[in-house]
Structures are given as structure tokens and as C-alpha cells.
């Protein structure tokens, strides 16, 4: 296996310093973070607060109708002392369903109807959240922090034009395992929220159940080239290849 050492405190301090440098070079001092109550957005908000000051971090909670664990999101904001706002996207989601034939066929004569797709509907949530976060960030003159981690990006467990859209990516070079390690070095964060089992907030299943992969295996595959199980390696590699389109700019069709 490849040699691997990870210093969580050093990584934390570099993230803080590099965000300060980015803010200085691009002339911004405020950031917006979508707060889900999970580890990625929790640790992202904490890094931003250390770098820019808690008064310059705007935490936005975005339930789609109801959210069972929204108290965790509120706790993150209160623990860090950052600004907070809740915007329920449920009405927006319902309105989109109504005009795309999901409640009843509203197509006019000569128009095609839109079939129901559960996966498309699931991805509406992240995309509506991103539209909302973009609106708020622009209105505040702030930048939007990306909270996705390298493990999710590698296997495509993210939504194009949803949680992949941001002005800077906080954990694009850190695996899910490493994000937890960084979070555990930050005394301002409740330990249980940093170690909280990631879920999709929809099915009641964990991210790992949905993916059919463990974050530990993905971490080992990324850092060592193998998780120690040849079949699992193939599965991760196949997911990475199939989802590469989420990590690159759209191809330009040449007219020449």
C-alpha cells in the first residue's frame, strides 16, 4: 500500500489559512453555508467561522417540508454563533411537481407530458436548495461554500447542479473519514454531530446503505489504491468511471 499520513490539525489550519487567502485575493468577506446537520456542512461552517469570523458566516437550513433532524442544524449554528435562517423549499418543490405533470397531466394539446422519475424527484431537493443558496449568497454579496467531500465526489454520490455547485470546495481533497478527523480537532463542535451517521434524509437509510459502499472502503481505495477487497475495488472504480461527468466541465461539441 502507498505510504499515507494524515495530520488532522495541520489540515484544519491549512484550510483556515487558505480560505483567508482566497477571501483576500477575491475580495470577499462573507460566506453562505447550507447547514444540513451532517458532518460536512458542520465542519465547513466551523472552518469558515475561524477564517472569516462567525459574524460573516450565514448558515441556511433548507428543509423540504419537514426535516426530522433540523434541531441538529440549529444546534450547529448556535454552537458556532453564526447567523442563521431557515427557508423551507417544500412549496417550491410542490409547485414544480404541479407544472411538470407529477400531480396531474397539465400538458396542452400538441405538448409532451413529463413522466414521473423518482430519481429526478429526489434530485430536485439538492437543486432547489442550490438555487436558494445562490440567491441568498448573491443578495448578501457573499460566496457560497461547497461542503461535499472527496469520497462522495469519487463515487458520484452527489447531484449535478445541486450540491456540486459552489464558489469554493472546502473538502474536495479530503475523504469522508478525514473530514471527521478534522472535525474532532475543533472543540467548538459537538462531537456527536461530527460523528453523526450520514443519511439521505428521505428513505431513512444511511448513505452507505444507499451506495452499497462504506466510506472506510472508499477512503482506503483513494489513499492506498485498494480497500483490500478486489470485488469492492472494482465496484468503486466502476462508480468513479460512470460518474466522472459530474467532475468535469460539460463537453463542447465542435463545429469543425
Q: Kindly list the domain boundaries of the chain, sorted by start residue.
A: 8-246
Question: Biggest alpha carbon distance in the chain?
Answer: 64
Angle in degrees, 0-180, between the axes of helices 39-52 and 8-26, rounded to the nearest 10: 60
> At CB < 8 A and 24+ separation, what contacts does 20-23 make?
20/51, 20/52, 22/168, 23/51, 23/52, 23/143
Topology of 8-246 in CATH? Rossmann fold (3.40.50)
Encode the chain (256 residues) as per-residue pLDDT tens digits. 567 899 999 999 999 999 999 999 999 999 999 999 999 999 999 999 999 999 999 999 999 998 888 999 999 999 999 999 999 999 999 999 999 999 999 999 999 999 999 999 999 999 999 999 999 999 999 999 999 999 999 999 999 999 999 999 999 999 999 999 999 999 999 999 999 998 876 666 899 998 999 999 999 999 999 999 999 999 999 999 999 999 999 999 999 9
Amino acid at each position: 500500500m502507498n505510504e499515507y499520513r494524515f495530520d488532522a490539525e495541520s489540515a484544519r489550519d491549512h484550510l483556515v489559512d487558505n480560505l483567508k487567502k482566497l477571501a483576500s485575493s477575491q475580495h470577499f468577506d462573507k460566506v453562505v453555508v447550507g447547514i444540513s446537520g451532517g458532518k460536512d456542512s458542520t465542519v465547513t461552517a466551523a472552518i469558515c467561522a475561524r477564517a472569516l469570523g462567525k459574524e460573516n458566516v450565514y448558515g441556511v437550513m433548507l428543509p423540504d417540508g419537514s426535516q426530522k433532524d433540523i434541531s441538529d442544524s440549529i444546534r450547529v449554528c448556535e454552537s458556532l454563533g453564526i447567523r442563521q435562517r431557515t427557508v423551507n423549499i417544500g412549496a417550491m418543490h410542490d409547485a414544480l411537481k404541479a407544472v411538470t405533470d407529477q400531480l396531474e397531466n397539465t400538458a396542452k394539446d400538441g405538448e409532451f407530458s413529463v413522466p414521473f422519475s423518482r430519481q429526478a424527484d429526489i434530485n430536485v431537493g439538492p437543486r432547489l436548495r442550490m438555487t436558494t443558496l445562490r440567491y441568498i449568497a448573491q443578495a448578501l454579496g457573499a460566496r457560497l461554500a461547497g461542503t461535499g467531500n472527496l469520497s462522495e465526489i469519487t463515487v458520484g454520490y452527489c447531484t449535478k447542479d445541486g450540491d456540486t455547485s459552489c464558489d469554493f470546495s472546502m473538502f474536495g481533497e479530503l475523504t469522508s473519514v478525514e473530514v471527521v478527523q478534522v472535525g474532532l480537532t475543533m472543540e467548538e463542535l459537538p462531537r456527536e454531530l461530527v460523528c453523526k451517521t450520514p443519511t439521505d434524509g428521505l428513505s431513512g437509510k444511511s448513505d452507505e446503505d444507499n451506495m452499497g459502499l462504506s466510506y472506510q472502503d472508499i477512503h482506503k481505495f483513494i489513499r492506498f489504491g485498494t480497500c483490500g477487497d478486489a470485488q469492492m475495488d472494482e465496484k468503486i472504480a466502476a462508480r468513479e468511471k460512470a460518474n466522472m461527468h459530474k467532475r468535469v466541465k460539460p463537453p463542447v461539441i465542435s463545429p469543425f
